[in-house]
Amino acid sequence: MKVVFLDRDGVINRKIENGYVLDWKDFKFLPDVDKAIKLLNEKDIPVIVISNQACVGKGLITIDKLNDINNRMVRELGSKGAWIDDVFVCPHKKEDNCDCRKPKTGLFRQAAEKHDIDFKGSWFIGDSPEDVEAGKCAGTSTYLLKKDENLMSVVEKILKEWK
């Protein structure tokens, strides 16, 4: 199946510069994210989040607390009719040199083990060069979300190109 992969911080929610979302009160959805995800849902396109979360490896937050934040994100979006099909996170620090930290493709492989994914027909939308590199290495089309863009405009663009 073709899917749209989304990075979390900077794509779904406001990125905290030089910091991390460590509590739900710090999680702020970006404009029209729910509408963009809902549009993908209406086209029967699964949405999977792929996110580096080094804050766990740095001991700033537990994996359970991170999972609570991600689960709340999924529930809040779902309450608006916007469904996230799955969330995959890398909890490691950059210096751990793990296989799952973007730009490496371990999280994509984890997603493929759980879901029947056609990477060649899929997209990855991220807000960093590492996201674009990871998507390309995984075999997806990629889109680098600029700071002045919102997810809805990008989703509309890629749906026009969708093959």
Task: Quote the CA–CA distance of 24 and 76 in Å, as a whole number.
Answer: 11
Strand partners, 5: 48, 124
Task: Quote the CA–CA distance of 59 and 61 in Å, as a whole number.
Answer: 6
Q: Which of 9, 34, 85, 127 is catalytic?
A: 9
* Cis peptide leading into residue 103 (ω within 30°): yes
Active site annotation includes 86: no
Active site annotation includes 68: no
Q: Which of 7, 34, 85, 131 is catalytic?
A: 7
Burial label for 133, CB within 10 Å (0-12, 13-18, 19+), is middle
Active-site residue set: 7, 9
